[in-house]
Structure formats: C-alpha cells, structure tokens
Amino acid sequence: MAGSQTKMGARIIRVPLMIAGLATLAVITLCWKANPAARPPGPVTALASQHQPASARVEALQSGRNSAISSNRRNRADLAAREFLALKARAEGGDAVAQRQLANRYADCIWVNLGRQRFLATYDSMARITKDPTSAKLLPQVARLVADDCAVVDGGAVIPMEAFTLWLEQAAKHGDLAAQMRLRVHRMDLPQGDALRDVVEQVMASGDPAAMFVLGDVVSATKSDQGLGRYADVAQGSVAGYAWYIAACRQGLDCGPQSRIMYGTCLASGTCASTDYETFVRQHLFAGEQAALLDEKVAEITKLLNERQ
C-alpha cells in the first residue's frame, strides 16, 4: 500500500482485508439478536408454524433474515454518513489531519463513484479467476464494503480529482507532514540526497506513523544513497520502502484486517487472506535472502526510532 497512487491509496498499492467472512457473520448474528422478527420461532410460534406448509415456513425465515440484513445495512450506512460529515466538518474547520484524511477518502472513492456497478463487476470477475479460495471469497466482499463506504462520500457523487489535491494541499499547508510528503509523491517532486536525509530526520522526530508510511513511497523511488549519510541503508530502494511501511504499522498505524491499507491491498493485489499488512508483505512479497534483508532494514529503522525516544 504505498508507492504511486492507484484506485485505493498507497501502492501494490504498494499497497496501501478484511476477514470479511467472519465480520459479516458477526454482523448478521448481532442483527438476529437485536431483531426478534429474525430469530428462529420460540415454542409457541413453532407449534403454530407446524401447521404452515414447509415452503411458507422457509419463505418466512428467509424474509426475516433479509429484513435483519437490510436493517443492518441501513444502520451502517447512516453511521458512515454521519462519520463522513463529521470528518468534513473538521476539515473545513482547519484540522490538518482531518484534511488529509478527507483527501484520502476522496482519492479512495474517485474510481468507485465513477461507476459503482462496474467497480463491483470488476472484482466479481477477478474473484472467478483467483486461485486462492479465501481471496476469491473475500475479494467481492471487500469491494462491496468499499463501495458502501464510498456511497456516503458526497452522497456517492462523481468526485473530481481536484477534491483530492485541494484538500491534500490544505493539509500540507497547515503542517501535516504526511500530507506534505504525499503531495510531493503525487507531483513526482521527490526529495533526493541531503533533502531526503532532512525528510527522514523530520519523520523520525515527528514519530508520526502516517508520515512513516508515506516515507516508504519516497524511499522506494530513491535509487542513490548519495548524501543520505547514516540513513543510506534505510533511505533508498524498494526493500527499505517496505521496511518503512512495516515500521509505520508497528508504530501504531492501522494496518489490521479492517484498515484502509488492507482493503487497498486486497483490491490492488487480489490477495485478501492476510490478517495485516506486515503478514501480507512477508507471505507474498519477500522470501529467502530478500526476507533477511528486509529484517535487517526493519531492525535498523527500529534502532533509529528508539534513539529518538
């Protein structure tokens, strides 16, 4: 989930999943507990239902299930809409972090809101040719979760690219370090040499995991260690970039199964069975000597961060 921007944020995204099957089961279970109409019949109603044709009983049960699921979807949509409006209000009030988060929401939903059904159909098609059965099951589920989240972003309206760039510029202007770096990545205006060394210093001093993750994008695109000084081993090349992604996750960035990063990884890579981003990287991207090199760089970054504390 990092690197150049794609449909869902950071790259393979570099990307930047949800165990959507388990989450969906939990949601439906909670709905049934909260909705008496969706529960199996109790002793009295069961006795009465015995006099109904089997087809009628099945239809009634299915109707109850559908009612519970529909009710839950409406409740989830209402909550998501309120959360989006609250985020937008904070951004309009000048909160730099909210401005960056709003820019990210717009970026995530630009392609989705151009055509929800086409977006969903794309991932239904991908699921049919995916060899891993878990990913095949989760891929369309994650796509639908993302589409539902995007449906509340400006009411599901088509989003101009300017909505992303303008809010990112505002966040950068108001001092958000992650936004400042992401804006440079977006413009392909990447720091090099001494300037990159200064950026690494800034990120480590800030302790901001969001900035660390975007630093992974910057580092991945850096091919020379000239001028990097003591950061030469962790400030250039794709392996170092992934090490910064992992460091960001370990420092508190949400990289878990229901995170924006893992949704993006699932949709961008078609691989949806990992429980968090570090697990995804280690299971699918690095092996053998490369895995050992990744470990070395993660350890070096951890050491540098600890020196700052």
pLDDT surpasses 80 at 143? yes
- pLDDT of 36 > 90? The answer is no
Q: How far is CA 1 from the centre of its chain?
A: 8
| Residue ranges per structural domain of the chain | 191-308
Average confidence score pLDDT of the chain:
81
Q: Provide the CA 271 distance to its chain's centre, in angstroms.
A: 14
pLDDT per position as a tens digit, 174-201: 999 999 999 999 999 999 999 999 999 9
- The reported pLDDT for the residue numbered 309 is 66
- In DSSP notation, the chain reads --SS-BTTBSSSS------HHHHHHHHHHHHHHH-GGGSPP-HHHHHHHTTS-HHHHHHHHHHHHHHHHHHHHHHHHHHHHHHHHHHHHHHHTT-HHHHHHHHHHHHHHHHHHH-HHHHHHHHHHHHHH-SSHHHHHHHHHHHHHHHHHHHTGGGG----HHHHHHHHHHHHHTT-HHHHHHHHHHTT----HHHHHHHHHHHHHHT-HHHHHHHHHHHHT----TT-GGGTTTSSSHHHHHHHHHHHHHTT---STTSHHHHHHHHHHS----SSHHHHHHHHT--HHHHHHHHHHHHHHHHHHHHH-
pLDDT confidence of residue 286:
92
pLDDT of 299 reads 97
pLDDT at residue 54 in the model: 53
- Token pair recorded at residue 235: 């400030």
What are the residues facing 6 on neighbouring strands? 9
pLDDT band at 107 (very low <50, low <70, confident <90, very high): very high
Indicate the pLDDT class of residue 226, thresholds 50, 70 and 90. Answer: confident
Q: Which residues contact 225 (CB under 8 A, 6 or more apart)?
A: 232, 233, 235, 236
C-alpha 139/C-alpha 129 separation (Å) is 11
pLDDT at 221 over 80: yes
- pTM above 0.85? no
Of 20-29, 107-116, 150-159, 228-237, the least confident: 20-29
pLDDT of 233: 92
Q: How far apart are CA 65 and CA 59, in angstroms?
A: 10
With pLDDT > 90 as the criterion, what percentage of the chain qualifies? 70
Quote the pLDDT of residue 179: 98
Q: Given a cut of 90, is residue 39 above it in pLDDT? A: no
CA-CA distances (angstroms) from residue 116 to 69, 92, 196, 234?
A: 20, 27, 39, 40
> What are the tens digits of pLDDT across the range 268-305?
999 999 999 999 999 999 988 899 999 999 999 999 99
Long-range contacts of 87-93 (CB under 8 A, 24+ apart): 91/167, 91/170
Q: Which single residue is written with the structure tokens 């059904």? A: 117
Residue 249 has pLDDT above 90, yes or no: yes
Give the pLDDT confidence of 252-272 residue by residue, as tens digits.
999 999 999 999 999 999 999
The per-residue pLDDT for 244 is: 97
